[in-house]
Amino acid sequence: MYESSQNTTYDDQWYLDSGATNHLTPDLSNLGSKSDYTGQEKITIGNGQVIGINHTGTSYFLTPMSSKIFTLKDLLHVPQATKNMLSVSKFCRDNKVYIEFHTHHCLVKSQDSKETLL
């Protein structure tokens, strides 16, 4: 679920969201390549507030456990958000991985090799 507040600080960790359709970040610097968002869609957060999307782009990160580079396609820049949210379904589909959830942790694994990547 997305959260928002009026203060300008945010948590810079990334959080998995199994109910999210898209990835989002309040920090424009998280978008490696970006363009202004010209669409009409908005984000509805947990308290029902509707907030705007300013930019869309792509970001990449390397895993500490392997040489796999993960891609966050169509990452939305939403300045009023307070957390970086990663859509589980979109991340898995775009990176050909699955996420294995355990009681106190989760693992990101390759769909092809079943290797633990993160």
Residues annotated as catalytic (active site), given as ranges: 17
Which residue has tokens 């990547």? 117
Q: What are phi and psi of 6, to 5 degrees?
A: -85, -15
Counts of helices then strands in the chain (DSSP H, E)? 1, 10
Region for 96 from its dihedrals, namely left if φ exceeds 0, alpha if ψ lies in -120 to 50, beta otherwise: left
Q: What are phi and psi of 82, to 5 degrees?
A: -115, -5
Q: Of 88, 32, 21, which Cα lies nearest the Cα of 55?
A: 32
